[in-house]
Structure 1
């Protein structure tokens, strides 16, 4: 890489590193909030206190956000599958092959 090209590209590398670092910090913050919410929820259940519905909802939302942000999905999502992948159910029930269904 020539020195001139390096001087042009160097600021973009720094910005890329900063963006990656910022995303990693956001993931860590979200993970800490999710852990804290789960810990508080279990602590309240252990103490046999009545857990407010808002606390349960907030904990569930944080856990879902955590699962979505790290690319994991619940078993319900995995069972449903995604649209646009594979042949459609109507085509299979009519006895058409996926190649013929597209035409």
Structure 2
């Protein structure tokens, strides 16, 4: 069975500056914060179905992998994913506040 080896992995957080049906311009910051920020253009289609809802100010993640095949030739792949924050209802927030208050009472009881 042929093997592949990940020879490099780079991750960035991006903020969409401008987007249309074909191109997306974004500011990229390395997740390890060791490199420099840069501005780059991507094909909007790389966001897949998320391209329909993406807009300026949205955050996405870019992962680039370099893989070496058994023959030694490198292949690079990239993946863009829009950050998903989820949808919080008023009931969710009220429930979480109640849970936090209950936990705080239990913590306070430890020190009485």
TM-score by length of 1: 0.23
Name the one with the larger strand percent. Answer: 2
Between structures 1 and 2, the one with greater helix share: 1
Structure number, greater radius of gyration: 1
Q: Greater relative contact order: 1 or 2 (C-alpha under 8 angstroms, separation 6 or more)?
A: 2
TM-score by length of 2: 0.21
